[in-house]
Structure 1
Amino acid sequence: MASGNSEHPDAVARDYFALNPPPRQLQSHTTLARTFIETHASDNRRVVLVTSGGTTVPLENQTVRFIDNFSAGTRGATSAEYFLEAGYAVIFLHRQFSLLPYSRHYSHSTNCFLDYMIEDENGSVVVGDEYQGEMLHVLRQYKAARKNNTLLLLSFTTITDYLWELREIAKLMQPLGPRALFYLAAAVSDFFVPHDRMVEHKIQSSEDFNATKQINGDPKTKLPAARTEGKSLVIDLDPVPKFLKSLVDGWAPEGMIVSFKLETDPSMLSAKAKYALNKYSHHLVIGNLLSTRKWEVVFVTSKGSKWIRVPRRRRTKSFSGRLEQVGLAGGKDEEEAVEDGVASEETMQWDPPIEIESLIVPEISRMHEEMIKSKTQGR
Structure 2
Amino acid sequence: MWSFAGFVKMATVDQQQNAEAGKSMEDGYNSEGSDIDKQDKNVKKDEWELFFESHEPPTDFASKKLQMHEFAEGHMKNGTRVVLVTSGGTAVPLENKMVRFIDNFSSGKRGAASAEQFLSEGYAVIFLHRHKTLLPYERHLANTRLTDVLDIRNDSDGTQQIIANQDKFPKLLSILKGYKEVQASNSLLLIEFMMLQEYLYLLQAAAEALSFAGTHAMFYLAAAVSDFYIPSEEMIEHKIQSADGPPNIILHVVPKMLTPLVRHWAPEAFVVSFKLETDRSLLLDKARQALEKYNHQVVIANILEERNEWVTMVTPEEYQKLSITDRNVSCIEELIISDLVTKHTVFIVNNSSE
Q: TM-score, normalised by structure 1?
A: 0.79
Matched, 1:371 2:308: no
Q: Secondary structure at the match of 1:267?
A: helix
Matched residue, 1:323: none
Assess if the C-alpha contact under 8 Å between 1:9 and 1:246 holds in 2: no
Cα distance in 1 for partners of 2:44, 2:177 equals 44
Query: What RMSD in Å do the two structures reach over aligned CA positions?
Result: 2.0
Matched residue, 1:54: 89
In structure 2, the CA distance between the partners of 1:184 and 1:309, relative to structure 1 (3 Å rule), is same
Structure that is richer in helix per residue: 2
Q: Gapped runs of 5+ residues in structure 2?
A: 1-10, 19-42
The correspondence of residues 20-31 of structure 1 with structure 2, limited to 5 A, is 20-31=55-66
Assess if the C-alpha contact under 8 Å between 2:149 and 2:169 holds in 1: no
Give the alignment partner of residue 131 of structure 2, picking from 72, 75, 96: 96
Q: How many Å apart are 1:234 and its aligned residue?
A: 2.7
Cα distance in 2 for partners of 1:286, 1:81 equals 18
Give the alignment partner of residue 266 of structure 1, picking from 255, 266, 280: 280
The correspondence of residues 107-118 of structure 1 with structure 2, limited to 5 A, is 107=142, 109=143, 111-118=144-151
Q: How many Å apart are 1:121 and its aligned residue?
A: 2.2
Assess if the C-alpha contact under 8 Å between 2:274 and 2:300 holds in 1: yes
Q: Secondary structure at the match of 2:236?
A: coil
Matched residue, 1:240: 254
Matched residue, 2:227: 190
Give the alignment partner of residue 334 of structure 2, picking from 352, 355, 358: 358
The correspondence of residues 118-267 of structure 1 with structure 2, limited to 5 A, is 118-122=151-155, 123-131=160-168, 133-207=170-244, 230=245, 232-267=246-281
Matched residue, 2:22: none
Q: How many Å apart are 1:235 and its aligned residue?
A: 2.4
1:10-33 CA distance string (max 9 Å, x none) = 622221111011111110001111
In structure 2, the CA distance between the partners of 1:355 and 1:3, relative to structure 1 (3 Å rule), is farther
Assess if the C-alpha contact under 8 Å between 1:10 and 1:246 holds in 2: no
Cα distance in 2 for partners of 1:357, 1:174 equals 25
Matched residue, 1:339: none
In structure 2, the CA distance between the partners of 1:361 and 1:3, relative to structure 1 (3 Å rule), is farther
Matched, 1:285 2:286: no
Q: Secondary structure at the match of 2:314?
A: strand
Matched, 1:304 2:318: yes
In structure 2, the CA distance between the partners of 1:3 and 1:22, relative to structure 1 (3 Å rule), is closer
Cα distance in 2 for partners of 1:201, 1:126 equals 49
The number of equivalent residue pairs is 315
1:304-356 CA distance string (max 9 Å, x none) = 211011116x7xxxxxxxxxxxxxxxxxxxxxxxxxxxxxxxxxxxx6x6100
1:348-379 CA distance string (max 9 Å, x none) = xxx6x610000000100000011111111x14
Q: Gapped runs of 5+ residues in structure 1?
A: 208-229, 315-350
Cα distance in 2 for partners of 1:4, 1:34 equals 34
Q: Percent identity?
A: 42
Q: How many Å apart are 1:4 and its aligned residue?
A: 7.6
Q: How many Å apart are 1:132 and its aligned residue?
A: 5.6
Assess if the C-alpha contact under 8 Å between 2:13 and 2:47 holds in 1: no
Counterpart residue type for residue 261 of structure 2 = L
Give the alignment partner of residue 290 of structure 2, picking from 276, 279, 286: 276
Q: How many Å apart are 1:248 and its aligned residue?
A: 0.6
Q: How many Å apart are 1:2 and its aligned residue?
A: 5.4
Matched residue, 1:325: none
Q: Which runs of 4+ in 1 moved over 4 A?
A: 1-10
